[in-house]
Structure 1
Amino acid sequence: MAYDRSAMLKLLRPAMTRILTPLGRALVRRGIGPNAVTAIGTTGTVVCALVLYPMGQLWWGSLAITVFVLFDLLDGVVARMGGGGGSTWGAFLDSTLDRVADAAVFSGLIIHFFLQRDLLMTGVTLFCLVAGALVSYVKARAEGLGVGCDVGLAERPERLVVGLVSAGLSGLGVPYILAFGMWLLAAASAVTVVQRIVHVRRQIGAR
């Protein structure tokens, strides 16, 4: 990437933490733990994506999904404030439910295109769904073998941003933006898969 993803996250995370801390404190007082927050965020994302997107409500769907995606940060805030939940189990649950949420977002868009009888974009978005899952799988499998794989053009945050922004703008009437976003994401995801495979091969070869 042309930018330093780690540096950007280090800049954004403290600001988001300050914004979410009051809400996190309120949840902890009510006995709601980080794992419950993770589950609520995923459930909200799945419902909004699979109901609003097929209905053609792309703007409201994207807006609602964005709110629930913020739960991905809120669960960490709750955990740090003593909301309970084992860190190992919580990390596993969070990573697993992230995949569920991602699949729901792109499945909703696939259904939207299919109902519009746009078979080309249905196929492109299906490719985005499969390629996104493969991006995550390659990293998980590499790390399971003890090989670092934190590289690539389009990781989960980039995929979500492109998908949600293009869908939201399309819902506001911006022409061709959703198709452009899906084609861009398909290409970026394919490149990322190749980047990660090559990176792992080089790492193993260096051993």
Structure 2
Amino acid sequence: MLNRYARALFTRIFTPAARFLLARGVSADAVTIVGTLGVALGALILFPLGELFWGTMVITLFVFSDVLDGVMARIAGTTGRWGSFLDSTLDRVQDAAVFLGLMLWFFGAGDFWIAGVAAAASMALGMLVSYVRAKAESLGFDANTGIAERAERLVVTLVFAGLTGLGLNPWALAVVLLLLAAASAITVGQRMVTVYRQSRRVRETDGGQ
């Protein structure tokens, strides 16, 4: 949902930067890779040190590369299956880094194992959400549905991680992560039901021919 409403706005915002980088020979793939490295380093270095606010700031700065690279590819006319594959793969790397960084903090010096478990559950179920959609699409089905898509999960996690770094009780982040894990589980169920219904319609159509 967030993707649909925000894409047009962010496209207008990032178009000047996209044109600037393209004019200097920077490719969309390079931006994708640099953005992923920035997110991963911010999450895996600053979060485990307890710098949740500054870690969030660094991650937020680099996570916008996910929008910028798409704008660059469309302007340059280089959109295609490779770019989509690279972008989707590195999105998973970014997500894993964010939740792993939180896990390292809460299971380590943060000493709050409940939040660590919640982060682990959010990471695992979030990956499953993405896998179900990718597998469905590889079989010719449409599973782009559910209440917890990637953008929503990432935004909510970063907002509460940053607020925790500013002094918010860590229980708030733990509860949010548990709710995200539950929402991800529901999304997996929704996508499975959607694919099942589509597959049943295909069987009925094939049987009626």
TM-score using structure 2 length: 0.90
Alignment counterpart, residue 57 of structure 2, candidates 63, 88, 112: 63
Q: Name stretches of at least 5 consecutive residues in structure 1 with no aligned partner.
A: none
Paired AA for residue 163 in structure 1: T
Pick closer, same or farther for the CA change 1:56–1:27 going to 2, 3 Å: same
- Of 182-191 and 17-26, deviating more is 17-26
Q: Which residue of 2 aligns with 1:185?
A: 180
Aligned-residue offset at 1:12: 2.4
- Of 51-60 and 170-179, deviating more is 170-179
- What RMSD, in angstroms, separates the aligned Cα atoms of the two structures? 1.5
Aligned-residue offset at 1:206: 2.0
Alignment counterpart, residue 203 of structure 1, candidates 173, 198, 202: 198
Q: Name stretches of at least 5 consecutive residues in structure 2 with no aligned partner.
A: 203-209
Q: Which residue of 2 aligns with 1:174?
A: 168
- Contact (CA 8 Å) 1:45, 1:101: kept in 2 or not? yes
Deviations 1:96-123 (Å, cap 9, x if unpaired)? 1001111001000110111122222222
For 1:130 and 1:107, the matched residues in 2 are separated by 10
Match status 1:28 vs 2:22? yes
Paired AA for residue 103 in structure 1: A
For 2:5 and 2:135, the matched residues in 1 are separated by 29
Aligned-residue offset at 1:172: 1.1
Count of matched residue positions in the alignment of Structure 1 and Structure 2: 200
Aligned-residue offset at 1:177: 2.1
Alignment counterpart, residue 149 of structure 2, candidates 149, 155, 166: 155
Determine what percentage of the aligned residue pairs are the same residue.
50
For 1:195 and 1:86, the matched residues in 2 are separated by 30
- Contact (CA 8 Å) 2:49, 2:105: kept in 1 or not? yes
For 1:10 and 1:141, the matched residues in 2 are separated by 22
Paired AA for residue 144 in structure 1: S
Deviations 1:69-125 (Å, cap 9, x if unpaired)? 11011001212232x755221111001100111100100011011112222222221
Map 1:43-82 onto structure 2 (within 5 A): 43-82=37-76
TM-score using structure 1 length: 0.91
Match status 1:125 vs 2:84? no
For 1:141 and 1:121, the matched residues in 2 are separated by 30
For 1:47 and 1:39, the matched residues in 2 are separated by 12
- Contact (CA 8 Å) 2:114, 2:174: kept in 1 or not? no
For 2:94 and 2:62, the matched residues in 1 are separated by 10
